[in-house]
Amino acid sequence: MSQCYVALLRGINVGRAKRVAMADLRQIVEGLGYANVRSLLNSGNVVFHADATAAAAAAAAIEEALVLKLGVASRVIVLDSDELAAIVAANPLLDVADNHSRLMVFVLGDPAQRARLEALAEQDWGCEQLALGERAAYIWCPEGVLDSAPALALGKQLGDGTTSRNWNTLMKLHAMCSAT
């Protein structure tokens, strides 16, 4: 039975580095045998269907194909629709965040990374907040993400072991998976 997956590519089309046309990205994912491939925005978000595949295997295949076909190295995190739904359902900051473009979700490449973030979650971040879920860290950045102290600390702690999306984007991806 076919299941919906979301691939999140880290650092695609941010600034001048790692430029990838979404049509090329869709073609790469289709070339791997995945079906109903759709992209969202111009920043490396791909929704696709596959028959019982391991998310980690899909991520590795997409990473390899990006390098081989486009010469672009990018960390890829793949979630199945249930994992994405759990991340959405677990967000504890929805009552605090009044601007969902400044509510960031850092998806963990490996759930074991959560332990490395527990000390950060216990810190006082002033008007900003950081909360942990099982597979994601949620950061409320009312002044913006670029100068967000918890976002910078989390990025420093995990490096390319995470990728972030704002809440609006994550909800659009969730809707795309739910609609199929």
Fold observed for domain 2-83: Alpha-Beta Plaits (3.30.70)
Instruction: Assign domain 84-178 to its CATH architecture.
Output: 2-Layer Sandwich (3.30)
CA–CA gap between residue 74 and residue 62 (Å, rounded): 9
Listed residue (144, 136, 151, 130) closest to 105, CA to CA: 136
Greater model confidence, 141 or 159: 141
- With residues binned 3-state (H G I as helix, E B as strand, rest as coil), the percentages for the chain, rounded to 5, are 40, 25, 30
Q: What is the pLDDT of residues 78-117, one digit of tens each?
A: 999 999 999 999 999 999 999 999 999 999 988 889 999 9
The pTM score is 0.92
pLDDT for residue 159: 84
- How does residue 20 score in pLDDT terms, banded at 50, 70 and 90? confident
- pLDDT tens, residue by residue, 106-148: 999 888 899 999 999 999 999 999 999 999 999 999 998 888 9
Sequence ranges of the chain with CATH classification 3.30.70.1280: 2-83
Q: Helical H runs in 32-166?
A: 55-70, 81-89, 114-122, 149-158
- Note the pLDDT of residue 178: 86
Token duo for residue 12: 């695609």
List the helix and strand counts (H, then E) for the chain.
6, 8
Task: Look at residue 71 and tell me whether its pLDDT is greater than 70.
Answer: yes
